[in-house]
């Protein structure tokens, strides 16, 4: 069982993808139920693994590919952090996408690649060495491209081209980095405290260069400035894709890769010795501030959220570069918190666009009266981004600030506080418009009139649930199965073993 379980988790979405590709376009019910069934089965399997790993069990799938390079899928505490987030959010995004794309063409193609995308994410999370990681990382790029260009318009194709340019370039950098590492020190697997501790000091400069290369390759997906240009352009994709790309699959895969490199390849102590952590913190800090400043200048809702993502994902990287368990906890827990909160915000943006035709912030006047639940969900997500308790974002900021003080990098505290103010500057006006401004006499394009629910219940339900999770993750942060407790588990295992 320990051999098959990681493979099974992958298989649920791979099989779903193959099946959905072959389904005729008009078999909606069958496609929908198969999608949901696969998602639920996946959550069950991941949940089983989480409970087992908490009890010190291990799961590993291993095939030898060539020479000393193995294909390894391993489920440890860190992989299950990401896998749990992905599988849970995949379920909600599937429900949302079914509602969002109702009546649009090419849904089989969409959901097929959707499932492939999630399969790649699962592979990324459970990869046991850099090589396996790379395989699924590139598979992620290729399976998300059709989703970005789904609409087929000229703008979408252009955005897709930009997306490919960036991500394949990043993939090349990653490949060169991995190959160089292999040439230098031989084959490496992900070990809890890193494998490079005992290399000779002659290799330090080369290792530093490789570190930079790896982070750059991963940093494209993780939207580090100046490698973030694809993210705002990719907003042309449908809202479920933006939610998936920006909360789960692509950006988190990049950030997750950074976690793996720092903690499980180089090892955090060695990285600290090498002196790469502080520059990484500086780059992340710059991204945080730059992303927030750019967000202020946007008038389109999704573009503003895109730059907010650029800024927020770098919180994760900042946390990872703060030496010490507290900083690590801050970075890891923000991976989960930011995922849930951002997916809520993008769900709301999609609902605004679908129901009332609103894509610009200035058209949001008075929407709170027309769609109170959606606006409330948006408010919760936005407050979380700003870091106001008790929403989950406050918990992350608390641990990030604490980690910064423990690591002796006091200037990071300033970065956190300035970015909180900037976040408030670009989220509070939106909330003001929602609840306090008088609405225009007519909505830009009211497609779903207010019936029993304010909008399509397939769109509303996932949004409300993820908003509740954002609130719950903060309020119940000290509970046994909260994201914070899981991050603590990982940090303890990383620093103490």
| Residues of the shown chain interacting with another protein in the complex, contacts defined by CB under 8 A | 162, 166, 169-170, 172-173, 176-177, 180, 183-184, 203, 205-206, 209-210, 212-213, 216, 220, 226-227, 229, 233, 372, 383, 387-390, 397-398, 401-402, 404-406, 413, 416-417, 420-421, 424, 428, 435-436, 474-480
CB of 433 to another protein, least distance (A): 13
Residue 218 three-state SS: helix
Rounded Cα distance, 487 and 491, in Å: 6
Q: Give Cα 134 distance to the centre of its chain.
A: 17
CB of 50 to another protein, least distance (A): 18
Rounded Cα distance, 78 and 454, in Å: 39
Instruction: Considering the complex, state which of residue 36 and residue 405 has its C-beta at the smaller distance from another protein.
Output: 405
Helix pair angle (250-259, 77-100), 10° resolution = 180
Instruction: Considering the complex, state which of residue 130 and residue 173 has its C-beta at the smaller distance from another protein.
Output: 173
Closest CA to 172 of 237, 209, 220, 114: 220
Backbone angles phi, psi at 200, to 5 degrees: -75, 150
Instruction: Considering the complex, state which of residue 373 and residue 459 has its C-beta at the smaller distance from another protein.
Output: 373
Please count the CA atoms within 13 angstroms of the CA of 160 that sit on its side-chain side.
Answer: 19
Instruction: Considering the complex, state which of residue 195 and residue 215 has its C-beta at the smaller distance from another protein.
Output: 215
CB of 170 to another protein, least distance (A): 8
CB of 10 to another protein, least distance (A): 30
Residue 357, token pair as written in the block:
């035709």
Instruction: Considering the complex, state which of residue 14 and residue 404 has its C-beta at the smaller distance from another protein.
Output: 404
Instruction: Considering the complex, state which of residue 105 and residue 372 has its C-beta at the smaller distance from another protein.
Output: 372
Instruction: Considering the complex, state which of residue 88 and residue 407 has its C-beta at the smaller distance from another protein.
Output: 407
CB of 258 to another protein, least distance (A): 16
The length of the chain is: 497
CB of 87 to another protein, least distance (A): 24
Instruction: Considering the complex, state which of residue 220 and residue 377 has its C-beta at the smaller distance from another protein.
Output: 220
- 266 contacts 213 by C-beta, under 8 angstroms: no
Closest CA to 261 of 251, 276, 246: 276
Instruction: Considering the complex, state which of residue 28 and residue 161 has its C-beta at the smaller distance from another protein.
Output: 161
- 139 contacts 33 by C-beta, under 8 angstroms: no
Please count the CA atoms within 13 angstroms of the CA of 227 that sit on its side-chain side.
Answer: 26
- 238 contacts 299 by C-beta, under 8 angstroms: no
CB of 401 to another protein, least distance (A): 4
- 90 contacts 82 by C-beta, under 8 angstroms: no
Backbone angles phi, psi at 435, to 5 degrees: -100, -25
Give every CB contact of residue 452 below 8 A, 6+ residues apart in sequence. Answer: none
Rounded Cα distance, 118 and 186, in Å: 31
Q: Which single residue is written with the structure tokens 């490079």? A: 196
CB of 446 to another protein, least distance (A): 20
DSSP secondary structure code for residue 455 in this structure: S
CB of 52 to another protein, least distance (A): 23
CB of 159 to another protein, least distance (A): 9
CB of 136 to another protein, least distance (A): 22
Instruction: Considering the complex, state which of residue 405 and residue 461 has its C-beta at the smaller distance from another protein.
Output: 405
Rounded Cα distance, 414 and 411, in Å: 5
Percent helix, strand, coil in the chain (nearest 5)?
A: 75, 5, 20
Instruction: Considering the complex, state which of residue 156 and residue 220 has its C-beta at the smaller distance from another protein.
Output: 220
* Helix ranges (DSSP H) in 101-221: 107-126, 130-148, 154-185, 204-221
């Amino acid at each position: 069982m320990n051999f098959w379980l990681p493979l099974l988790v992958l298989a649920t979405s791979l099989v779903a993808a193959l099946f959905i590709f072959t389904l005729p376009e008009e078999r909606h019910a069958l496609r929908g139920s198969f999608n949901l069934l696969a998602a639920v089965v996946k959550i069950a399997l991941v949940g089983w693994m989480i409970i087992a790993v908490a009890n010190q069990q291990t799961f590993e799938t291993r095939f030898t590919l060539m020479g000393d390079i193995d294909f390894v899928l391993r489920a440890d505490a860190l992989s299950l952090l990401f896998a749990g987030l992905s599988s849970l959010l995949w379920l909600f995004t599937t429900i949302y996408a079914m509602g969002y794309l109702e009546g649009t063409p090419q849904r089989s193609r969409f959901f097929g690649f959707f499932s492939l995308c999630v399969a790649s994410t699962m592979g990324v999370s459970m990869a046991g060495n850099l090589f396996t990681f790379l395989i699924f990382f590139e598979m992620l790029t290729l399976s998300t491209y059709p989703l970005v260009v789904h609409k087929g318009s000229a703008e979408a194709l252009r955005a897709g081209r930009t997306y490919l340019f960036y991500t394949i370039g990043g993939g090349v950098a990653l490949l060169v980095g991995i190959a160089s590492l292999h040439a230098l020190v031989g084959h490496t697997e992900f070990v809890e405290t890193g494998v490079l501790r005992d290399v000779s000091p002659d290799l330090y400069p080369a290792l530093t260069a490789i570190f930079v290369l790896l982070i750059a390759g991963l940093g494209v997906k993780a939207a580090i400035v100046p490698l973030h240009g694809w993210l705002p352009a990719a907003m042309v994709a449908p809202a479920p894709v933006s939610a998936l790309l920006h909360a789960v699959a692509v950006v988190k895969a990049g950030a997750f890769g950074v976690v793996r490199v720092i903690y499980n390849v180089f090892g955090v102590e060695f990285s600290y010795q090498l002196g790469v952590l502080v520059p990484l913190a500086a780059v992340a800090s710059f991204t945080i501030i730059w992303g927030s400043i750019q967000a202020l200048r946007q008038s389109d809702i999704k573009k503003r959220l895109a730059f907010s993502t650029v800024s927020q994902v770098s919180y994760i990287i900042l946390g990872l570069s703060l030496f010490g368990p507290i900083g690590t906890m801050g970075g890891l827990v923000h991976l989960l918190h930011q995922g849930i909160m951002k997916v809520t915000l993008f769900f709301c943006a999609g609902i605004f666009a679908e129901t009332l035709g609103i894509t610009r912030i200035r058209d949001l006047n008075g929407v709170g009266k027309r769609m109170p639940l959606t606006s409330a969900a948006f408010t919760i997500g936005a407050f979380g981004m700003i870091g106001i308790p008790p929403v989950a974002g406050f918990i992350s900021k608390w641990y990030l600030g604490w980690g910064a003080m423990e690591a002796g990098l006091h200037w990071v505290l300033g970065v956190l506080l300035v970015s909180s103010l900037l976040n408030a500057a670009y989220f509070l006006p939106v909330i003001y418009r929602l609840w306090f401004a008088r609405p225009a006499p007519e909505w830009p394009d009211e497609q779903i009139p207010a019936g029993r629910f304010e909008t399509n219940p397939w769109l509303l339900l996932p949004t409300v649930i993820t908003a509740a999770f954002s609130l719950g993750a903060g309020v119940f942060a000290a509970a046994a199965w909260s994201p914070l407790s899981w991050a603590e588990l990982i940090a303890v295992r990383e620093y103490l073993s």
